[in-house]
Structure 1
């Protein structure tokens, strides 16, 4: 029997309603913590996204330093804690741990942080509104950084954290690209949008795959991997983040093993502290930084079959123990019993991601309340440098 136009329309409407319902049912239900976090951040996210919608791309090619041994497409930075030697002003710089030299070249780092802020804001706004205009704007910036031959950044960090008179680049500079993690995660959030064309997505993933390979096979990358403090944590965190974007399950599996057998057991003390961070001239800030990185690793790598949030070493070390150790000092800094940091003591803590990720993993309302009360929009450069996760909704 031939269907009338009205019957056909009814079938279409019925099919759409049924499939829309099925799609809605297939979406994971947000936890109470996620809902609370979204309510806390929504207005800030929309304001940040409104700013991001007005921004033009600024990549590493916009700035050049005559002290760089690289070319215009190479990321360059200078080590934060190195200063001119008073005894030899024209000679090699000397180390003053924890003391940031304001005259060092950091314009590429600032550009990358700005890029991360833009993509994080646009991805967050897209996640809570579904508006494709945010993805369309993000594509412009992604093409500039990773695809356009005139403005792209080379996928290596050979010239990061150089030291005048000593090194044209150091493995420690690899930590500078922790700010690309929110770019990678933002792409994951936006990649199925209509405005994210397949060619751009493929080009960006090709760049991240090349950079991940460099991190894992180059001399600086291997040196950074083998460090023993927050640098090795951040190396693994980056590799995990970029491998997740590229859906490289082999690398993801290897990072889970590394977390369980090397990072957590070798860096954490029996009480949940990080002795190598406590030994620094900024023990408070670095303890927070390393815990944020460990918690972010758990957030990236955990699966129902291999949940790092519940993993515990044979001698009782776990990410939960680390949070339990540091939380009282974050909730009330006056309880900190060790020496204060030599710089930026008054600027920590802010809305640390370990609080929100941990609250969500363990349903800890107290951790969430502390996170809600802290600063969600820090402006101090040193704090931002050590806070790669500033758009936590895209990670939940």
Structure 2
């Protein structure tokens, strides 16, 4: 409101106004003091409440950890009580099968094999080479050994049993977390933070957070027990799969929140990295297991298990679709992008969203296969890595998985050839270079690695400080022979088999390292650090993988 005094200063106002103004100011001052006292008291009470809540939460976490430790100890004791004191090396004598018995092979499993592959095609495959039946028996023996270990392992698998010091920045014990593989203490800061990247040099401290290993154990154990159920019909395997799935994803006390916000966390940062999304990619092994036990009593007795798990993964995909980290992983051009797509398609298929899965498979031709394989078969996004041979194998295994997934939707990624283009590729945070991409097929990539696998490792034209798993190359070559024709691969497979035998005579360890030691290669520049090869995550001869190929991706995937 405009007044005659609207343009005056305080000392120009009438004295009566000045007096009134002083009284008002004094009252306002007293009111402000009272308000501040109330605010201070309210803040004090809030701080006390927050402190109490933190103390209560810490107490609950400690109680939960103690309860879970006690549960794990009890289960382990129960396992020990079952052991036969006369058994060798603690083997449990419980009549679980250890060999494949064709006469006891479940009829339901036989019908499924025939339905997915065709009875004539299956017989032709088994009879085409006497070694195929031997390979089946060897594979099932290996599967049963792994499955029996998984069945008898009563350790609690859960994100909530991580050490108190490793709870992620959210403070929520149900949040998954893992540490970035190639990051080490910063030598230029007093506290070593934030950690800095040394590519190709895994920091063993990553094992101090258990979530990563336990999640992989869930997938691996479920996969092998699912296969064991398929080949033997032993209901106990299905029961344990149901238990593991519920314990990790669904049970109120032990569930994991449906996100990977703190995956591949770097010390000194509050959130994980895009690369942490890769931690979930082996989920397809668990989905394969759930397919394998579809008719089991254990699964039929839990009618809400699959719907509840689908709800969990629907929430997880929602996080992926809206997460900055996951969007970065989706846009990756190397193995991270490959396995992002493998993971996403697997989940879409589990949720029954097959049209979306097909569309993503079709998109992966131009986005994944085409840009990653050169005309000569090299994978330029992997050959720039210090462990280039390993990552070339790893990415190619992912492309094979994508091809199997696409084939189940009527698409052929095996023979897709992308256009030859020039692109910029980042070598490190400061350096990029121009490279040629495209022009090659998955077959070209398998042949490229197979050709170099039978040569002296010094002939590999890229940096490579890592160990090599020759078994993986051989398995991929056998996949190629099924897809592209045996005549084109017979000689190279024979050479690979000879190389495998030569590398590890009589021991069955098919990993070759640069220093001649099996599976371990010293890392220059890092005292005490080594490049190691993880235990083989697939049966030795690839038989189950080959059945997946013969079924055009509708039976199982190549688990690795």
With the shorter chain as reference, the TM-score category is 0.7 to 0.9
Is 1:128 aligned to 2:231, yes or no? yes
Point out the more displaced range, 80-89 or 19-28.
19-28
Q: Provide, for residues 112-135 of structure 1, a one-character-per-residue CA deviation record: whole Å limited to 9, x for no partner.
A: 122122111101112222332211
User: Residues 384 and 462 of structure 2 are in contact (CA less than 8 Å); yes or no, is this contact kept in structure 1?
Assistant: no
Is 1:69 aligned to 2:154, yes or no? no
Residue of structure 1 equivalent to 2:312? 207
Larger Rg: 2
2: CA distance between counterparts of 1:275 and 1:111?
32
Q: Provide, for residues 46-81 of structure 1, a one-character-per-residue CA deviation record: whole Å limited to 9, x for no partner.
A: 111111111224121121453521321111011111
1:1-396 alignment runs, 5 A limit: 26=115, 28=117, 29=119, 30=122, 31-32=125-126, 37-56=135-154, 57-64=156-163, 66-67=165-166, 68-70=168-170, 71-90=172-191, 91-104=193-206, 105-197=208-300, 198-303=303-408, 305-313=410-418, 316-332=439-455, 334=457, 336-342=459-465, 345-351=466-472, 354-364=476-486, 366=490, 370=496, 375=509, 383-384=533-534, 393=544, 394-395=556-557
2: CA distance between counterparts of 1:21 and 1:187?
17
1: CA distance between counterparts of 2:211 and 2:112?
42
The gaps in structure 1 that reach 5 residues or longer are: 1-18
Alignment: residue pair count: 375
The gaps in structure 2 that reach 5 residues or longer are: 1-107, 421-438, 502-507, 512-517, 521-530, 545-555
1: CA distance between counterparts of 2:109 and 2:159?
43
SS in 2 for 1:88: coil
User: Residues 116 and 183 of structure 1 are in contact (CA less than 8 Å); yes or no, is this contact kept in structure 2?
Assistant: yes
SS in 1 for 2:200: coil
User: Residues 76 and 108 of structure 1 are in contact (CA less than 8 Å); yes or no, is this contact kept in structure 2?
Assistant: yes
| TM-score for both structures, normalised by structure 1 | 0.83
Residue of structure 1 equivalent to 2:433? none
- CA 1:357–1:61 in structure 2 vs 1: closer, same or farther (change >3 Å)? farther
Q: Provide, for residues 225-283 of structure 1, a one-character-per-residue CA deviation record: whole Å limited to 9, x for no partner.
A: 01111110110011112222222113212221221111112222221111111011111
Could you say what the CA RMSD is over the residues aligned between the two structures, in angstroms?
3.2
2: CA distance between counterparts of 1:318 and 1:182?
26
SS in 2 for 1:196: helix
- CA 1:333–1:78 in structure 2 vs 1: closer, same or farther (change >3 Å)? farther
- CA 1:322–1:182 in structure 2 vs 1: closer, same or farther (change >3 Å)? same
- Structure with the bigger RCO (C-alpha within 8 Å, sep 6+) is 1
1: CA distance between counterparts of 2:444 and 2:165?
47
User: Residues 180 and 264 of structure 2 are in contact (CA less than 8 Å); yes or no, is this contact kept in structure 1?
Assistant: yes
Q: Provide, for residues 81-112 of structure 1, a one-character-per-residue CA deviation record: whole Å limited to 9, x for no partner.
A: 11112221403111111111112334111111
Report how far residue 43 of structure 1 moved. 1.1
Residue of structure 2 equivalent to 1:9? none
